[in-house]
Homo-oligomer: A and B are copies of this chain.
Amino acid sequence: MRAEDRGVATDAKSGELLMVAHMNAEALKRTVESGEAWYFSRSRKALWKKGESSGHTQRVIEMRVDCDQDTVWIKVEQHGPGACHTGRRSCFYRVVPLKQTGAIALQFRDAERTFNPDAVYDKK
C-alpha cells in the first residue's frame, strides 16, 4: 500500500458505502492489528484513526484486498450517528442523475444530517 491507495468502508450489515479515504501501509497495519479503521491524510501527512475526534469509530468485521493490492475493502460496524464529516451517515449523499449532458447536476439523497458536525469536530 502506498500513500495514494484507498480504503473503502461499507456498512457490514446494509452494504451501504460509507466513505473512501487514503490508506497507506502503516494505516493498513494499524487497522489489521487493532481491528479498528485507520486512514492516512495526505494533506496533513499523518495517520488518523476514524473517530479520533468525533468518537465515531469503525470496528472492522472483515477486510479484503483487491487484485492489484492498491485498495482495501473494510466491512465495518459504524459507531455513532455517521461516518461523514458533514454530519451524514455516509459521504455519498448526492446522486448524479444519468443520461444528462453538459454541466453535471447533483441531487441530494439520504442527505439528512444525523449529527451536528460543528458540535462534534474540534475547531482548530
A residues with a Cβ closer than 8 A to B are: 4, 6, 8, 10, 14-17, 19-20, 28-29, 32-33, 35, 60, 62-68, 71-73, 84-86, 88, 91-101, 104, 106, 109
* A95 proximity list for chain B (CB < 8 A): 62-64
Knowing A32-B100, A71-B20, A104-B29 are in contact, say whether A64-B8 is a contact too (CB < 8 A): no
Q: Are A20 and B66 in contact (CB under 8 A)?
A: yes
Which of B6, B15, B68, B85 touches A67 (beta carbons < 8 Å)?
B85
* A99 proximity list for chain B (CB < 8 A): 32-33, 35
Additional pairs, 20, CB under 8 Å, beyond known A28-B104, A64-B96: A6-B20, A6-B71, A10-B10, A20-B71, A28-B96, A29-B104, A32-B96, A32-B100, A35-B98, A60-B98, A63-B95, A63-B96, A63-B97, A63-B98, A64-B93, A65-B106, A67-B85, A67-B88, A67-B93, A71-B91
